[in-house]
Chain A
Amino acid sequence: MSTYYNSEDLKKFGSIGAFGAKNLADDFFKYYGDVFAEGALSSREKSLIALAVAHVLKCPYCIDAYTTDTLEKGCSEDEMMEAVHVGAVMAAGITLVHSTQMINKAKELTM
């Protein structure tokens, strides 16, 4: 059966450069590695942020990868779930804050 998402495909991510535009893929993976290295934020904190983003952008590959990664970095269930809630509340807030534009426009158009 053909599906749009296949968990085995996640393992192929690192080799997308072999298909073409290798220099761009290399640049991306270098950037990726640098971003997730220990810095002002710990790699553990960065992993929790990534887990939240994975949910907001609804990427099953990323949810797989960062659930594993946060577990490996010793994050607790509460921390992981709270990160997802942060993502959820941001997404909801982003939707709702746009209602101000709707309200402005509605006021503009109505008596």
Chain B
Amino acid sequence: MNPVKSLKARKHELGESAFQLEVLNDRLTLGKHLPLFREKLAPIDLFPLKPTEIDIFQVNVGKMCNQVCKHCHVDAGPDRKEIMTQETMQLCLDVLKKHKFRTIDLTGGAPEMNPHFRWFIEQIRAIDNDINIIVRCNLTIILANKKYHDLPEFFKQHRIEVASSLPFYTATRTDSQRGDGVFEDSIKALQMLNAVGYGQEGSGLILNLVYNPAGAFLPSGQAGMEKEFKRALKAKYGIEFNHLFCITNIPISRFLDYLLVSGNYSEYMEKLVNSFNPTAAANVMCRTTLSIGWDGYLYDCDFNQMLDLKVAGKAKHLRDFDMEALTQRSIIINQHCYGCTAGAGSSCGGEVAK
């Protein structure tokens, strides 16, 4: 059964980012010597890790969520009250007025639960009509309450790219990770998105699914997995979508808790380290992304955000936004970064290397 409360609400020691970093860096706990992540980057001339071109502005608008998934790196849930205020959203908009980004990526929690979510999207569109806006939708939020039922229409109206989590194309494995009944509601939500044109050829409305393993194993073969998802979802539920992104579970927060409790931590870390791929390391998402926290602080990625590892340099908040300094900064790395460089690599957009 899934936990009903976040680690934070349970006052679990892994609810604290400092303790997570302690665990990740305590190589004695692992029972084996694993190299530091920076030791892997140095021989391939990637240390210190530097940005290439910052063109993705990822905003985490809050930790509140209607689900409590076992693997959640945000430790999100209904009991999390951290929500981006309209004032902080305005600071984001001020940055967007001054600087050109290719993509705005809105995430959470369930971003739609932020009361200013729709206002924020309307303001972004008013600033830039062409920018690609991605919303990371957990699907069930669309059915969670009547006030969310029109989200597919709202997304369509603002030409939002929807990236929806669906751990698997069967109920058993999806529900074991995300909670009882999540699969059924996710299917209904996907059908609602399809009904307004999402995922349909020629509509221009992009619906991508996001797969991550429901357990202590890595994702493998995004193209093959996409084919299976498409076949299974179309045959059984008539669902269509554009692409499947395969994402590796990062060993922090609730997934770290799962690894420790299930006795898989040591093996999982060893597998990540042994699967280190230099090509994936060269293409990690933090080189092109800025991650904004609910309180306006700046991070190299959503994972660093959850570990409270703010960007290097003096300007750590939207109030002091300094693009030049950010472009020249060194990206903060730690042992969890192995999760993004294993095998074909993992990012919010799926595999990064072939």
A: residues with CB less than 8 A from B are 38, 42-44, 68-69, 71-74, 76-78
- In the assembled complex, which residues on chain A have CB atoms less than 8 Å from the CB atom of B52? none
- In the assembled complex, which residues on chain A have CB atoms less than 8 Å from the CB atom of B229? 74
Q: How far is the CA of A43 from the CA of B229 in the complex (A)?
A: 16
Given that A76-B173, A77-B173 are contacting pairs, would A43 and B221 also be in contact in the complex, using a CB cutoff of 8 Å? yes
B283 within 8 A of A: no
Nearest 6 Cβ contacts at the A-B interface = A72-B220, A74-B225, A71-B217, A72-B217, A76-B170, A44-B224
Q: How far is the CA of A78 from the CA of B219 in the complex (A)?
A: 19
Establish whether residues B218 and A72, one from each chain, have CB atoms under 8 Å apart when the complex forms.
yes
Establish whether residues A72 and B173, one from each chain, have CB atoms under 8 Å apart when the complex forms.
no
The closest CB in chain A to the CB of B224 belongs to A44
The closest CB in chain A to the CB of B274 belongs to A11
Nearest CB of chain B from residue A41's CB, rounded to whole Å? 12
Establish whether residues B213 and A72, one from each chain, have CB atoms under 8 Å apart when the complex forms.
yes
B334 within 8 A of A: no
Given that A74-B228, A76-B168, A77-B173 are contacting pairs, would A44 and B221 also be in contact in the complex, using a CB cutoff of 8 Å? yes
The closest CB in chain A to the CB of B222 belongs to A74
Q: How far is the CA of A68 from the CA of B211 in the complex (A)?
A: 17
- In the assembled complex, which residues on chain B have CB atoms less than 8 Å from the CB atom of A69? 220
Interface size class, chain B: 10 to 19
Q: How many residue-residue contacts, CB under 8 A, span A and B?
A: 39
Q: How far is the CA of A44 from the CA of B221 in the complex (A)?
A: 9
Q: How far is the CA of A29 from the CA of B219 in the complex (A)?
A: 23
Given that A72-B213, A76-B170, A77-B172 are contacting pairs, would A42 and B224 also be in contact in the complex, using a CB cutoff of 8 Å? yes
- Mark B208-237 against chain A: 1 for CB-CB distance below 8 A, else 0: 000101010111110011001100000000
Establish whether residues B219 and A72, one from each chain, have CB atoms under 8 Å apart when the complex forms.
yes
Q: For the complex, would chain B's binding face be called helix, strand, loop or mixed by DSSP majority?
A: loop
- In the assembled complex, which residues on chain B have CB atoms less than 8 Å from the CB atom of A43? 221, 224
- In the assembled complex, which residues on chain A have CB atoms less than 8 Å from the CB atom of B213? 71-72
Interface centre among B168, B172, B213, B221 (most CB of A within 10 A): B221
B: residues with CB less than 8 A from A are 168-170, 172-173, 211, 213, 215, 217-221, 224-225, 228-229
- In the assembled complex, which residues on chain A have CB atoms less than 8 Å from the CB atom of B218? 72
Interface centre among A42, A44, A71, A74 (most CB of B within 10 A): A74
Q: How far is the CA of A82 from the CA of B229 in the complex (A)?
A: 19
Q: How far is the CA of A43 from the CA of B222 in the complex (A)?
A: 12
- In the assembled complex, which residues on chain A have CB atoms less than 8 Å from the CB atom of B170? 76-78
Q: How far is the CA of A69 from the CA of B218 in the complex (A)?
A: 9
Q: How far is the CA of A69 from the CA of B220 in the complex (A)?
A: 8
The closest CB in chain B to the CB of A38 belongs to B224
Provide a sorted-by-A list of 18 A–B residue pairs whose CB atoms are within 8 angstroms: A38-B224, A42-B224, A44-B224, A44-B228, A71-B215, A71-B217, A72-B217, A72-B219, A73-B224, A73-B225, A74-B211, A74-B219, A74-B220, A74-B221, A74-B229, A76-B168, A76-B173, A77-B173
Q: How far is the CA of A44 from the CA of B229 in the complex (A)?
A: 13
Supply 17 further A-B pairs (C-beta < 8 A) apart from A69-B220, A77-B172, A78-B170. Answer: A43-B224, A44-B224, A44-B228, A72-B213, A72-B217, A72-B218, A72-B219, A72-B220, A72-B221, A73-B220, A73-B225, A74-B219, A74-B220, A74-B221, A74-B224, A74-B225, A76-B169
The closest CB in chain A to the CB of B343 belongs to A72
Q: How far is the CA of A38 from the CA of B223 in the complex (A)?
A: 11
